[in-house]
Amino acid sequence: MKEKLELILKNATDEINNADNLQTLEDVKVKYLSRKGELNSIKKNLKDLSDEDKRIVGSFANTVSDKLFELISQKNDILYKKELDKKLNEEKIDITLPSDFRPHGKIHPLTKTINEITEIFQGLGFSVMPKEYSPEVETEYINFDMLNFPPNHPAKDMQDTFYTKVAPNVILRSQTSGAQIRQMLNQKPHVRVISPGRVYRCESVSARKNNLFHQIEGLMVDKDITFADLKGILNEFVRIYFGSSRPTRFRASYFPFTEPSAEVDVQCIMCGGKGCRTCSGTGWLEVLGAGMVHYNVLKNVGIDPEVYSGFAFGMGVERLTMLKYAINDIRLFFNNDTRFLNQF
């Protein structure tokens, strides 16, 4: 039996030395040291020996088993380290490699137009109004009353307004004109500002109209400002914005907060003035409303209308963008379809 044990020790030691990975080592361990392993089968036969032999062989069997456990444990440490090194080497990350291609976002065409128009007016001496004068959730008082819309006057129906339940008479502003009021309450002439922003109207959505759109409000108040100044500034704006000589026309109009009032139309780019779906067959697209600031509006904000005069205008950002790039449906701006947005 002793010889058998010696043979086991020799064979097992050889196999442990030859094992070159953790799995093989584990197999060796099972083969010799598990419950059904070779060592245990010898230990099971000890009962047939004399007491004296039992002690000697039993003790030697334990020595062999201890020795094998020790050898396996040492070899295990070596192989474990070897495999870990191999794995770390194979999975090394090269942080200097260029990253995956990620498409870049683009500036939205409406933002682009707002930036462009802002720059034009800055070049004409206008500054941008502080944001706090131009809240999107506004009071009826600022949006209408202070702008000389008489109470319950049908003029209020010109702009179908979204009313909120926040508080009585709190609305989503239907126009950026309220910003004029806040500006003039906070700054006395000389005033020369623009204010871009979102406005809301309860209208049925179509190729020409959306519930949400953008306007840029303009305001200039000083001594001796006349309608000629208004025409001069707006003509200059149209010339710079469209680059070439796009036909425009001034039409007499009505707004409660200006007197006299006008609307400026630009010839439809889609049909060249012949009439199409985009311009409802008229050949023209209205891009802005304007006029001389009404006597009552100046009085409402505490500016003496006998001393000062001014003009104001409000332009539609979507319309101006559509005209410049020949876009025939306003809804395209709000669908977030990258095939459309990527073209700008």
Residues within the interface to ligand DAH (CB under 6 A): 175, 177, 217, 255, 258, 289-291, 312-314
Q: Distance between CA atoms of 324 and 92, rounded to whole angstroms?
A: 53
How many Å apart are CA 119 and CA 125, to the nearest integer? 10
Considering the complex, state which of residue 143 and residue 267 has its C-beta at the smaller distance from ligand DAH: 143
Q: Shortest distance, CB of residue 286 to ligand DAH, whole angstroms? A: 9
- Residue with smaller CB distance to ligand DAH, 32 or 257: 257
Q: Which is nearer to ligand DAH, 197 or 314 (CB)?
A: 314
Exposure string of 131-148, with b = 16+ CB inside 10 Å and e = fewer, is: eebbeeebbbebbbbbbb
Do the beta carbons of residue 1 and residue 44 sit within 8 Å?
no
Minimum CB distance to ligand DAH, residue 255 (Å): 4
Whole-number minimum distance, CB 287 to ligand DAH, in Å? 10
Nearest-angstrom CA–CA distance, 69 and 318 = 82
Burial 36-70 (b: 16+ CB within 10 A, else e): ebbbeebbeeeeeeeeeeeeebeebbeebbeebee
Residue (38 or 222) nearer to ligand DAH, CB: 222
CB of 256 to ligand DAH, least distance (A): 9
Min separation Cβ 149 and ligand DAH, Å: 11
Q: Which is nearer to ligand DAH, 58 or 135 (CB)?
A: 135
User: To the nearest whole angstrom, how small is the minimum distance from the Cβ of residue 203 to ligand DAH?
Assistant: 12
Q: Residue written as tokens 């126009």?
A: 175
Instruction: Determine the residue type at 105.
Output: G
CB of 126 to ligand DAH, least distance (A): 13
The residues, ordered by sequence, that sit 6+ positions from 169 with a Cβ below 8 Å of its Cβ are 139, 140, 141, 163
Nearer to ligand DAH by Cβ, of 15 and 217: the residue is 217
Distance from the first to the final alpha carbon of the chain: 90
For residues 164-196, b (16+ Cβ closer than 10 Å) or e, as one string?
eeeeeeebbbbbbbbbbbbbbeebebebbbbbb
Shorter beta-carbon distance to ligand DAH: residue 189 or 314 = 314
Backbone angles phi, psi at 139, to 5 degrees: -90, 150
